[in-house]
Every structure is written in C-alpha cells, then in structure tokens.
C-alpha cells in the first residue's frame, strides 16, 4: 500500500482541531488524557462522526470528507476495533469473520480463503463453530481482530483493544497483533493509555490534549525525550519545565534550577530564554530532609504529596513550585526519613541523567 492518510479536522463539539499525515503502512499510537479527543478522531476518520467544515480527510487520491462530500463509513475501507469485541451473537466465529467479505460480494471461494487465513493468523481456527457466548474475553478479542482484518481494510482503527483484558491475555494479544501488523499492509491508528502498547506496536505517537496535537514524532523519541506533560507521565519520566539559562540549565519562574545535558548529542542548540523541559527518571532523584552538604548541581526544595508502591520500591511524589517531581526510593528510606504527605524535603537530581530539550505548546 502506497497511500498516506491526510487528516485535517476542525470540529466544535466535541472539540477537535488537528492536522496530521499518517505515513503509508505505519502504525501510530494516539495518547492523551481523558476527554482529549482521541476517540473523536477515530470516529471522524471512520465516518461515524461528520466533522464541521472545512475539515478534510483523504487517503491517497480518495477523498473521505471535504466541503462537497462525506463518504459513508462502509465505503471508506476502514475497520474499527474497540475494547468490546462486539461480535454478532447469532453468528458463529467463522460467520463473524466472513461477514465483511460477504458484504463485499466476494465469491464463496474467496470468502472461505479469507476466513481460513485470518482464523489461522489469530489462532482461533478450533473455535470456528462456536458462538460468542461460548468464548472467553481473550478469545472474543482474537475473533474481533480476525473479523476486522478479514475486511482487508486500508485503515485499521484500534480504540484501546486490550483495556478490558487481564495482563497475561493482553500481552499475548499484543504479540499477536505485532506480528499481524508487520506486513505494513494498512495504516493503523491505535488509541491507548499503555506505554507498552505504544512501544511494542507503534512507529509513531501523537499526544492529544484538549482537542489539539501537543506533541508528535517517533515513539522512541517522544517517550524518551517528551516535551508534553502527558507524554512524560506516560513514559514514567519527570518533566521540569522552565527557561534555558546558560548551556546546561533549566530555570523555573521562581529560580529553581535543574542542570543536565541538551538533547542527545545530535547538535541541538537552545537559545537562552527559550522554553525548555528537563526530563529525568525518578530513579535519578534522591530525597533528603535537610539541604545536602557538598555542591550537588541540582537541589530542589519540595513538599511530599504522596507515597505509593512500585514493586519493591516506593515512588515519592512531590510538589516543586507547582510542578510534580517523583523520586523512587527504598521502603527503608521512607521509614528512616519519615516521608509523609506535607513533609518538606530536598531533592537532589543527578545531572548526568537529565536531558534538556525544546518544549511544544502543550508542555507548559
């Protein structure tokens, strides 16, 4: 497939104002807080929502939506898969998978070939004669994937397809879908809240907030060098936003300073005064009751907000002048320091683990 998907949507209710180009054969993860517009975008692409003018949606030379026309959903070559499998309860598994090819008026031989192919690819051939009420949640979602792909869609839309499944089942389905998408035979757009989905399945990532794209790029770059608060929280990194001061320092409005390195060594140049973000792992943060001796390059006065478990460690969330900074510490450190909500502490951040990058409009 050589066509790319061009989306320019300007919709008032629900609010969605975006412009983006999805590369041919790519998989793009769409993330963002609740109400950001993720599902609205999928509905507009699929044709279930007719966005306001002058919205325009095209796939190669095919126009799905512009000022003169709106192609109905069943003629767009789009398949939408959500966390609810939504199988037809009166049809068997095989009949569910055959539904789209039958609607396309293919010959019985071609329909049977597609059913066999996708039942096998999703490893549910032995379930062909069962009805949906005889399936587990994971089995039903496998059949839903087979049904979606049996339509041979040009665009596959996934709306948190693993959210309702337990961790083990979701992991197996993620591996299955990774193999199925490897053929690059379609454009895939996937809404998710799980960074594992984004890292494991997507080439690129879009961060939506309040109906607008606030960050986009390759999945690796966005999750390791985030410039929006949501992307930073998704990747588990701290994000400290301020102005560039000198060659290696970010300063917030009250003079708190974080020292690190600019970019990834690729020659990034950030002008003094530019709005930037310092990103760093909670593991790079140490917690003290008193200002530490010596000359650590980054010391941030903070107030503890809460302490929550993460495996055999604890994550201490703190408020630093209105910005959230988390530290990962041992439980013995929690006990020794008496860490509790409202306690004033000092955070020391390792400069060698801080990366500074330019900030998009959604990061402030």
- Give CA–CA dist 333/223, Å, rounded: 29
Closest CA to 197 of 170, 228, 231, 166: 170
Lowest mean pLDDT among 113-117, 169-173, 296-300, 326-330: 169-173
Residues contacting 185, CB < 8 A, separation 6+: 1, 25, 152
What is the rounded average pLDDT of the residues 340-364?
A: 83
What is the rounded average pLDDT of the residues 232-245?
A: 87
Radius of gyration of the CA atoms of the chain, in A: 24
Half-sphere exposure of 344 (CA within 13 A, CB side): 4
Question: Would you place residue 263 in the very low, low, confident or very high pLDDT band (cuts 50, 70, 90)?
Answer: low
What is the rounded average pLDDT of the residues 200-227?
A: 90
Q: Residue 362: its pLDDT value, please?
A: 44
Annotated domain spans of the chain: 5-224, 229-358
What is the rounded average pLDDT of the residues 97-119?
A: 96
Fold of 5-224: Rossmann fold (3.40.50)
What is the rounded average pLDDT of the residues 6-13?
A: 96
The token pair at 74 is 């069943």
Q: Residue 8: its pLDDT value, please?
A: 97
- Give CA–CA dist 344/352, Å, rounded: 25
Q: Residue 1: its pLDDT value, please?
A: 52
List the beta bridge partners of residue 16.
11
Question: Would you place residue 276 in the very low, low, confident or very high pLDDT band (cuts 50, 70, 90)?
Answer: confident
CATH number of 229-358: 2.40.50.100
pTM metric for this prediction: 0.79
Task: Say whether 358 sits in a helix, a strand or coil.
Answer: strand
Is 266's pLDDT higher than 90?
Answer: no
- Give CA–CA dist 17/33, Å, rounded: 16
Residues in the chain: 364
Lowest mean pLDDT among 42-46, 247-251, 294-298: 294-298
- Under a CB-based contact definition with an 8 Å cutoff, are residues 185 and 173 in contact? no
Question: Would you place residue 265 in the very low, low, confident or very high pLDDT band (cuts 50, 70, 90)?
Answer: very low
Closest CA to 230 of 284, 277, 161: 277
Is 225's pLDDT higher than 60?
Answer: yes
Task: Say whether 98 sits in a helix, a strand or coil.
Answer: helix
Task: Say whether 242 sits in a helix, a strand or coil.
Answer: strand
What is the rounded average pLDDT of the residues 165-185?
A: 87
User: What would the pLDDT profile of 28-73 be if each residue is shown by its tens digit?
Assistant: 999 999 999 999 999 999 999 999 999 999 999 999 999 999 999 9
| Same fold: 5-224 with 229-358 | no
Q: What is the mean pLDDT of the chain?
A: 91
- Give CA–CA dist 131/76, Å, rounded: 28
The residue among 196 and 289 whose pLDDT is bigger is: 289
Q: Residue 167: its pLDDT value, please?
A: 79
The angle subtended at Cα 82 by Cα 108 and Cα 234, nearest 5°, is: 140
- Under a CB-based contact definition with an 8 Å cutoff, are residues 143 and 122 in contact? yes
The token pair at 128 is 């062909």
Percentage with pLDDT > 90 across the chain: 72
Percentage with pLDDT > 70 across the chain: 96
- Give CA–CA dist 176/158, Å, rounded: 14
Q: Residue 268: its pLDDT value, please?
A: 53
Is 88's pLDDT higher than 50?
Answer: yes
């Amino acid at each position: 497939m050589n066509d790319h998907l061009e989306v320019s949507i300007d919709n008032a209710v629900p609010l969605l104002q975006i412009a983006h180009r999805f590369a041919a054969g790519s998989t793009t993860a769409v993330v963002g807080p609740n109400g950001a517009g993720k599902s609205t975008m999928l509905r507009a692409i699929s044709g279930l929502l007719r966005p306001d003018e002058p919205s325009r949606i095209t796939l190669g030379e095919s126009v799905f939506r512009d000022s003169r026309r709106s192609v109905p959903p069943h003629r767009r070559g789009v398949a939408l898969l959500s966390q609810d499998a939504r199988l037809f309860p009166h049809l068997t598994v095989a009949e569910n998978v055959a539904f789209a090819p039958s609607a396309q008026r293919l010959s019985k031989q071609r329909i049977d070939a597609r059913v066999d192919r996708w039942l096998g690819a999703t490893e549910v051939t032995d379930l062909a004669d069962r009805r949906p009420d005889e399936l587990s949640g994971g089995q039903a979602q496998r059949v839903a994937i087979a049904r979606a792909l049996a339509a041979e869609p040009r665009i596959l839309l996934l709306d948190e397809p693993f959210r309702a499944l337990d961790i083990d089942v979701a992991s197996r389905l993620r591996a299955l879908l990774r193999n199925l998408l490897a053929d690059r035979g379609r454009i895939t757009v996937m809404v998710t809240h799980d960074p594992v989905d984004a890292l494991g399945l997507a080439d690129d990532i879009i961060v939506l907030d309040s109906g607008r794209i606030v960050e986009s790029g390759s999945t690796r770059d966005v999750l390791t060098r985030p410039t929006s608060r949501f992307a930073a929280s998704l990747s588990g990194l701290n994000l400290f936003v301020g102005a560039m001061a000198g060659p290696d320092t970010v300063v917030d409005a009250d003079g708190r300073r974080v020292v690190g390195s600019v970019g990834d060594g690729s020659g990034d140049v950030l002008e003094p005064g530019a709005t930037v973000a310092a990103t760093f792992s909670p593991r790079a943060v140490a917690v003290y009751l008193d200002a530490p001796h010596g000359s650590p390059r980054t010391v941030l006065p903070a107030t503890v907000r809460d302490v929550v478990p993460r495996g055999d460690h604890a994550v201490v969330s703190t408020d630093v002048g209105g910005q959230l900074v988390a530290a990962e510490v041992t439980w013995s450190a929690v006990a020794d320091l008496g860490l509790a909500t409202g306690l004033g502490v000092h955070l020391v951040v390792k400069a060698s683990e801080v990366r500074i990058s330019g900030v998009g409009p959604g990061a402030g």
